[in-house]
Structure 1
Amino acid sequence: MPEKKWYKIAPSKEELFEPPNDKTEVTIEGKTICVISINETLYACAAKCPHAGGRLMYGKTDLAGSIVCPVHHYRFNLKNGFNTSGEGYFLTTWRIAEKEDGIYILL
C-alpha cells in the first residue's frame, strides 16, 4: 500500500468556494473529490454517489454533517461515509485540514 500524502488544494477557503456555493470539486491523482463546507467544517468525499453516480456537489447538506444524493436521495454521513438512509452503500471519505498556508486533503 502506497504511503499517504497531503495534497494542497487551495490557499484558503475563500479561494476554494465561489459564493454562495458551499461545495466544489477538485481532482487529485486522477480522483475527483467533492469538497464541502458545513458551518465552517470541511469534508472531502467521492464526487459521485456509490449507488448510481449522482454528482454530490449538487446534493443537499445538513448541519449534522450529512449529504443527500440528488438522484435517489440516499443520505451519507460525511465524517465516516456510512449510508444513514439504510440502503447499505458506503461513500469514500478523506481527511481534510485547514492549515496556515492552505487547505489540504490526505490521499
Structure 2
Amino acid sequence: MPAYKITDVVNNALPGVMTVVEIASIKIIVVKKEKQVYAFRASCPHAGTMLTDGYIDAKNCVVCPTHFYKFDIASGKNVTGEGYRLKTYTTAEADGEWYVYV
C-alpha cells in the first residue's frame, strides 16, 4: 500500500474534528483524538452520505446523519448491527511526519 503524507492535515486538525482529504481520488476523513490519528472513507458504506455531516460520539464511533448507523473509527466495525463495514486506513507517524496508507 502506498503511503501519503498527511502531516499538514494532522497538525492543523482540531482534536475530534473530522477533516476530509482526497488521496488517490478517494475522499478520506482524518481525525486526531488524543495521540492517535484515524483515517476512514468519507462516505457511509450504506447510503453514501458524507460522514462529516454526522459526528463522533464518546465511544469513538462516527455516526451517520442519515440513518444513525455507528462505525468504530479504528476498526470500521458497524456497532449498531446493520452489517456494513466502514473502510479504514492505517496511519503512522515517522520522524515527525504523519502518513496514511491507501
Q: TM-score range by the shorter chain?
A: 0.7 to 0.9
Q: TM-score, normalised by structure 1?
A: 0.82
**2:31: which partner in 1?**
36
Give unmatched runs, 5+ long, in structure 2: none
Which 4+ stretches in 1 moved above 3 angstroms?
none
Note the alpha carbon deviations across 1:39-81, whole angstroms, 9 max, x for none. 3321111000011111112221134321101111100011111
- Residue aligned with 1:85, SS: coil
Sort the Cα spacing of 1:98 and 1:57 in 2 relative to 1 into closer, same or farther, 3 A. Answer: farther
TM-score computed with the length of structure 2 as normaliser = 0.86
Query: Where does residue 102 of structure 1 map in the other structure?
Result: 97
From the superposition, tell whether residues 21 and 102 of structure 1 become closer, same or farther in structure 2 (CA, over 3 Å): same
Contact 2:10 2:30 in 1 (8 A): no
Q: Once the two structures are superposed, what CA deviation does each residue of 1:56-107 show, in whole Å capped at 9, x if it has no partner?
A: 1222113432110111110001111111001111110000123333221011
Contact 2:19–2:31, Cα closer than 8 Å, also in 1: yes
Equivalences, count: 102
* CA shift in 2, pair 1:61/1:100, >3 Å: same
Query: What is the CA deviation profile of residues 20-55 of structure 1, one whole-angstrom value per residue up to 9, with x for unaligned ones?
Result: 871111111111101112233211110000111111
**Structure 1 residue aligned with 2:3, among 2, 6, 18?**
6
1:1-107 map, 5 Å: 4-11=1-8, 13-15=10-12, 17=13, 19=14, 22-107=17-102
Question: In the alignment, is the contact (CA less than 8 A) between 2:15 and 2:33 conserved in 1?
Answer: no
The one-letter amino acid paired with 1:92 is K
